Chains A and B, each alone.
Chain A
Amino acid sequence: MAIVVDLVVQLGQMLVVLALAPLLTGFVRKLKAHLLRRQGPPLVQPYRDLLRLLRKEVVLAHSASWVFRIAPYLVFAATWVAAALVPTFATGLLFSYAADMIAIVALLGSARFMLALAGLDVGTSFGGIGSSREMMIASLAEPAMLMVVFTLSLLAGSTQLSSIAASMQGPDVGLRVSLALALIGLLMVAIAENARIPVDNPATHLELTMVHEAMILEYSGRHLALIEVASYLKLLLYVSVIACVFFPWGIAVSGQGAAAYLAAVVVYVVKLAAGGFLLAIFETAIAKMRVFRVPDFLGAALMLGFLAVLLLFVTRAG
């Protein structure tokens, strides 16, 4: 009986994540529009876009292969599974021990691998631009992310997100410089991985500035819908990770009962809204970087992560 309840809660988390992801993106877009003194699209516009795309027919290029057709499903599946394994309103769920932070980062890497291949599949130069730039950004963002994971797991003694969240709520963490550095590094990686300004512009169609948009240029219909959902899920994943690691107050522990879960869901939605708010302000306040300044930016994130690991040893000694 208990296992059925656990299963239901785990499935509930997966559905919550899928349901909230387009809402987060809609919220960010609406907020950015307001900051630019525009009305902006309604909050539920991403859902409408997805429904519209799902109903349209797919236009495939003559040279597209089965990799092109399968990639959206695999990208969506990998990103959804990764997002579902991040504690959102409860830690210690039934399947949260299937993957730790390293595995979640690698799952996102699988999604990126398939997307980059899909970009190369049709054989146009735009796809090539997107894929090669995406792999360059990934080659610095993923190590930076892993350095942040190292810092957190050296502090918490575990790589499981549930254990990290639990130890961050504990008493002997304190205000450490390493945590501040890890937070800044994680923010920089999140911006790069989600193709946000200043690394990439999610609303552009100019080839000089495209990275993510260039890879998915040839996609249409239901395939495009799946890839869009995957990018919404990725943004939700990163905001959830930052919320559950650095602001873990209000997360329920598995087994506390339905009332605790509901309260935790409300807290989670508030955290998402705060994250979306800050993202919108940041994106509006800053300009996009040239592509070849991105390695400097991400190199700084990698250095910050590594510095965080080093500085951790200073206080562990004492």
Chain B
Amino acid sequence: MKRVLLSTFGTVAGLIALLTFKSQGHPLTTTGALPSAGLPGSGSSSTPTTAPPAGGDTSGGSSSAPPPAASSSSAKAASRTVAGDAVETRYGVVQVQVTVSGNRIDNVSFLQLTAFDGRSQEINGAAAPILLQETLSAQSAHIDNVSGASYTTDGYLQSLQSALDKAGVR
């Protein structure tokens, strides 16, 4: 019985420890809280004002609450977007962005870059070639698709996207 209790507690404690570690490290700081309310007239974050010919407009596949900022263009935005601290990871510098409404965190997303700070660019000007060598290879980055300057049909064949498409076709 003692062993059962021990292993149960040990497992639960271990899980909590692992998960807690992964949910920390990004203290929320409001680096000039950016307004997230609706944009002046352009409707760029929500559906455009004219109905597309193909039928009713739906914002891309949202199954839950509408995007926090699309509706309210009032001065006091219900949700706030704050940026976390930049953290060193093995891909480079990661910065987290969090959308908060009230006390609740609505969404978290983040960006990975090899370098992001304009100032560090100047300081490391001579190191620019090194930066290039830290660029990621498509295999190790585990990407789903590739964005790049427009390719033609011929250009597609040489592109990273075509490699991904080929791998995904069964």
Genuine A/B complex: no
A interface residues, Cβ below 8 angstroms from B? none
Task: Identify the B interface with A (CB < 8 A).
Answer: none
